[in-house]
Chain A
Amino acid sequence: MKSVWKTKVAMFTGITAMTVGILGSGVASEPAFASSSKVVHLTYWNMWSGIWTQVVQKMVNQFNATHPDIQVQMLSVPSSNGEQKLLTSIAAGDPPDVFTEWNPYVAAMAQQNALMNLNKFMVGKYAGLKHWFYPVASRWGTYKGQMYAMPWTMNTFLLYYNKTMMKDAGLNPNKPPKTIAQLEQEQAKMWKFGSGHTVQQIGFYPSNADWDKYMPMFGVTAGQLYNGKKYTMTGKGAKSIMNFYAYFKKYPFSQVSAFQKGLSGAAGGSTDPFEIGKQAFMITGMWEIPTIKQENPSLQYGAEPIPAAPGGHPNTTWVNGNFNEIPKGSKHPQQAFEFIAWLSGYDNAKWAASAYPTGGWIPNSPQITKQPAYQKFLNSDPLQKPFVNVMLNPNDQITPVTPIDMYFEQSMQTNVDNVLQGKVSPQQALQQWQTQLNKQLVTTTAH
């Protein structure tokens, strides 16, 4: 009897030990690498999927091939909760060495002391990095004067116009609108409705997520909206952006969003009405070009800098992009910095100039743009050029970099929706938005 009991105990101790062992093994594997040789192994996370993973993996492979003492292992985390995984890994003390960010989380994380200050690394052979980037590019990743996210590749935005639809409306297809007033007038001719107010074709309709993208065309600067302490959303420029939205309240809101979002929802977010020739004008990024090439190559279209409103600036763009961060707790920050500086093309412009075109990417630095390889890419398709040219404009803008940027985006959509539906006046919407933002700012920065 006694021996049976002992067996039982032994069995269960064994099972428990096994369970603990399995749970623990994930953590325990780390030191095995480090001790093997002088080679430093970096963990690199990004949120790309599908074909983009291959584009970026290729670049990582090229780094590994040219840097025998630093080996980077790339891991794709889901874009729906990449930051969440990053945060938990930082909190657990086991973060990746490099993370590619494209959502406006930089200030929020920097404020929580979760990211390394990249300026501290810009000494010695990296001192020149401070002047390497397009000025607007570095502003996106900079919080309180310090860089926390290094520009890698940029997104810029232009007005796309459908030449066929312009011709059908009796307009000159080679003379896209130059002013906001012209855009409003011309687009009005292109709307088509079906039975029961269903939308069949759109002229132009401003997206509720684009309020900040219109900043430069209305002459609004990040500094006007946020002074480092609080938001001011009721200024003249901000009001003219909201008035621009209010102009479109005459179109049926839910039918339009059903039409637009229905299309993109059907194709997993990759099809918009412009691509299939159902929208005359659209403001979007350079990625639209390869998508149209693939989805609807016969589409007759052009792209030019977004028209400016009175008081706004022509040939400008709002900018965001892909930025590399080194999370606090990275075990090899120096090597991580070497890796992200290399990806940014610093001391390496020739490589970047030939690698970036594989993703249709816009460089972070004029030094890369002027390389023959990149110029060759630009000349291969005249549509690409204006996307890069707008990077040079001193009036380019970004959304103010603050710890509540994610909330800024969410609340933007609700308040803009209210204006588009005519529920509130532009003035009321901005007032409410301002109150919401400053309240959120207080609760977020209270500690």
Chain B
Amino acid sequence: MSVEVGRGVVTRRKRNPNPVSKARQRRNRLTGWLFISPWVVGFLAFALFPFLATLFYSFTNYNMLNPPQFVGLLNYKQMFTDPLFWQSLYNTFFYTLIFVPLSTVVAIAIALLLNMNIKGRAIYRTIFYLPSVVPLVASSVLWLWLFNPSFGFIDAFLRAVGIPGPGWLYSEVWVKPALILMGLWGIGQPIVIYLAGLQGVPHELYEAAYLEGANAWQRVRNITLPMISPVILFNVILGIIGSFQYFTQPYVMTQGGPSNTSLVFALYLYQNAFQYLHLGYASAMAWLLFVIILLATLLVFRSSAKWVYYGGEQ
């Protein structure tokens, strides 16, 4: 914050040959700080402090009730020999690696359809966005019903066409695909962002391509996708972060079962913290997750030079 406030003052001084009085400057700065103070105080107390505290706790044995005891890197070492840690990490990677690409393709496809000039477009757009308005816990309970092998709509439909339901949330093989499928239902947010991106693509590009004889797929491939690639980058990064932190749905729907096949990283972290009272270990896990997310985001950013096109720069 201070950097930006300072910089503003410096540039103004350059433009204005008569420098503003020192006292006035100080007063302005103070006013600025006072204006943002509710946010700063909140950030320091409820974000930065807990954030740093978990770093400290990750080097301790801590159970909330007794003072933490310093144990060095023990919590981090322990992770490598904890089979459930690996299982939960695998589950989270499985979910992320399938859900993020899949949801990107589906969201773009839907956005393209919703961008077409058809009757009732506003209604369709609303329908696709609606699931995002439903609270996560409520939609989880709803899907618990839909996936229900005895009374669920999905299995009733499958039975009607002669396919036995796979047991979904109660099957070790199908529980992760079921959760991914359910995730696709809630991608209204990225769809809206893609739609905005699509509307920013200049019309004359399409006209020119059309005159050159490009077909619909060629227009999408060579105009639409490059032009919205910054939007794709944004959504992919948000998707990666969200997927690594995936928690609510398995917490409500499966509690990690069956046989830990839906025990995602964040859920195991929660169990360690609040069921087994290993807050130190859970803090270490949280930091590892932070590092993983950071690396994944960096990786995507690095690669973006190859596939993201910022029109204005060329």
Asked whether B303 is an interface residue with its Cβ less than 8 Å from the other chain, the reply is: no
Contact between A404 and B170, CB atoms less than 8 A apart: no
In the complex, residue of chain A having the shortest beta-carbon distance to the beta carbon of B281: A443
- Interface contact B164-A262, CB-CB below 8 Å: no
User: Given contacts A406-B276, A407-B276, are A87 and B171 in contact (CB under 8 A)?
Assistant: no
Please state if B65 and A258 are interface contacts (CB–CB under 8 Å). Answer: no
Chain B proximity of A78: nearest CB distance (Å): 12
Residues 246-302 of B at the A interface (beta carbon under 8 Å): 257-260, 271, 274-278, 281
One of A43-51, A106-114, A224-232, A370-378 contacting the partner: A106-114
| A-facing residues in B68-91 (Cβ within 8 Å) | 69, 78
Q: Which residue of B lies closest to A92 (CB)?
A: B64
Q: Which of A13, A108, A112, A443 contacts B66 (CB 8 A)?
A: A112
Query: Nearest-CB distance from B263 to chain A (Å)?
Result: 9
- In chain A, positions 1-55 with a C-beta closer than 8 Å to chain B are 5, 8-9, 12-13, 15-16, 19
CB-based contact A15/B259 at 8 Å: no
Q: Check B144–A265 contact: CB distance below 8 A.
A: yes
B37 interface residue, CB < 8 Å from A? yes
A65 interface contact, C-beta 8 A:
no
Cβ contact within 8 Å between B149 and A12: no
Chain A CB within 10 Å — which of B34, B170, B278 has the most?
Answer: B170
Q: A84-B274, A406-B276 known; A266 and B150 CB under 8 Å?
A: yes
B304 within 8 A of partner (CB): no
Q: Which of B31, B260, B275, B277 contacts A414 (CB 8 A)?
A: B260
Residues from chain B with Cβ under 8 Å of A292 in the complex: none
Residues of the A chain whose Cβ atoms lie less than 8 Å from the Cβ of B258 = 254, 257, 417
Q: A254 to B171, Cβ gap below 8 A?
A: yes
Contact A262 B64 (CB under 8 A): no
A334 lies within 8 A of chain B by Cβ:
no
- The answer to the question of B311 belonging to the interface, with a C-beta cut-off of 8 Å to chain A, is no
Chain B residue numbers with a CB within 8 Å of A90 are: 64-65
Q: With A406-B275, A414-B259, A443-B78 as given contacts, are A91 and B64 in contact (CB-CB < 8 Å)?
A: yes
Q: Which residue of A lies closest to B82 (CB)?
A: A439
A112 touches B151 (CB 8 A): no
Is A257 a contact partner of B170 (Cβ separation < 8 A)? yes
Q: In the complex, which residues of chain B have a beta carbon less than 8 angstroms from the beta carbon of A379? A: none
Cα–Cα, bound, A103→B117 (Å): 58
Proximity string of chain B (147-162) to chain A, C-beta cutoff 8 Å, 1 when within and 0 when not: 0111110000000000
Contact with B along A77-113 (1 / 0, CB 8 A): 0000101100110110000000000000000110011
- Name the residue of chain B whose CB is nearest to the CB of A413: B257
Check A294 for interface membership: any CB of B closer than 8 A.
no
Chain A: residues with Cβ within 8 Å of the partner, total of 48
Q: Which of B61, B148, B163, B172 contacts A265 (CB 8 A)?
A: B148
Cα distance, A443 to B31, chains bound together (Å)? 52
Residues of A183-206 contacting chain B, CB below 8 A: 195-198
* Distance (whole angstroms) from the CB of A115 to the closest CB of chain B: 10
Q: Is the CB of A9 within 8 A of B274?
A: no
Contact present for B151 and A418 (CB under 8 Å): no
How far is it, in angstroms, between the C-alpha of A258 and the C-alpha of B150 when the chains are bound? Answer: 8
- Decide yes or no whether A274 CB sits under 8 A from chain B: no
Which of chain B's residues have a CB closer than 8 A to the CB of A9?
30-31, 34
Q: How far is the CA of A87 from the CA of B35 in the complex (A)?
A: 37
Q: Report if B41 contacts A (CB, 8 A).
A: yes
Q: Judging by beta carbons under 8 Å apart, are B65 and A112 in contact?
A: yes
Q: Is the CB of B260 within 8 A of A16?
A: no
Q: Do B35 and A254 touch (CB < 8 A)?
A: no
Give the distance in Å from the alpha carbon of A358 to the alpha carbon of B258 in the complex: 37
- Look across to chain B and name the residue whose beta carbon is closest to the beta carbon of A415: B259
Q: B65, B78, B164, B260: which contacts A198 (Cβ < 8 A)?
A: B164
B63 at the A interface (CB under 8 A): yes
A108, A114, A258: the one contacting B167 at CB < 8 Å is A258
* Chain A nearest CB, measured from B178 CB (Å): 12
List, in ascending order, chain A residues with CB within 8 A of B63's CB.
Answer: 112, 447
Contact A19:B151 (CB < 8 A) given known A254-B258, A404-B276, A446-B61: no
Bound state CA distance, A406 and B271, in angstroms? 10
Give the residues in chain A near B66, CB-CB below 8 Å. Answer: 112-113, 447
- Bound together, the chains give a CA A261 to CA B65 distance in angstroms of 36
A62 contacts B by Cβ under 8 Å? no
Knowing A8-B31, A12-B37, say if A410 contacts B148 (CB, 8 Å). Answer: no
Is B203 engaged at the interface, CB distance under 8 Å to the other chain? Answer: no
B61 touches A447 (CB 8 A): yes
* Minimum CB distance partner of B141 in chain A: A268
- Chain A positions within 8 Å of B163 at CB level: 196
Residues of A within 8 A of B69 (CB): 447
Can you list, as one digit per residue, whether each of A248-272 has a CB less than 8 Å from chain B (1) or not (0)? Answer: 0000001101110111011000000
A444 close to B (CB within 8 Å):
yes
**B27 contacts partner chain A, Cβ-Cβ < 8 Å:** yes
User: B26-48 interface mask toward A, CB cutoff 8 Å, 1 = contact, 0 = none?
Assistant: 01001100110110010000000
List residues of chain B with CB within 8 A of the CB of A257: 167, 170, 258
Known: A112-B277, A262-B148, A443-B281. 13 other contacts (CB 8 A): A13-B34, A19-B41, A87-B64, A90-B64, A90-B65, A113-B66, A114-B65, A257-B170, A262-B152, A265-B148, A407-B276, A421-B259, A447-B63
List 24 A–B pairs whose Cβ atoms lie within 8 Å, in order of A's numbering: A8-B31, A9-B34, A12-B34, A12-B35, A13-B34, A19-B38, A87-B274, A87-B277, A113-B66, A114-B65, A197-B164, A254-B170, A258-B167, A258-B168, A262-B152, A266-B148, A406-B275, A406-B276, A407-B276, A410-B275, A414-B259, A414-B260, A417-B258, A421-B259
Q: Name B residues whose Cβ lies closer than 8 Å to a Cβ of A.
A: 27, 30-31, 34-35, 37-38, 41, 61, 63-66, 69, 78, 144-145, 148-152, 163-165, 167-168, 170-172, 257-260, 271, 274-278, 281
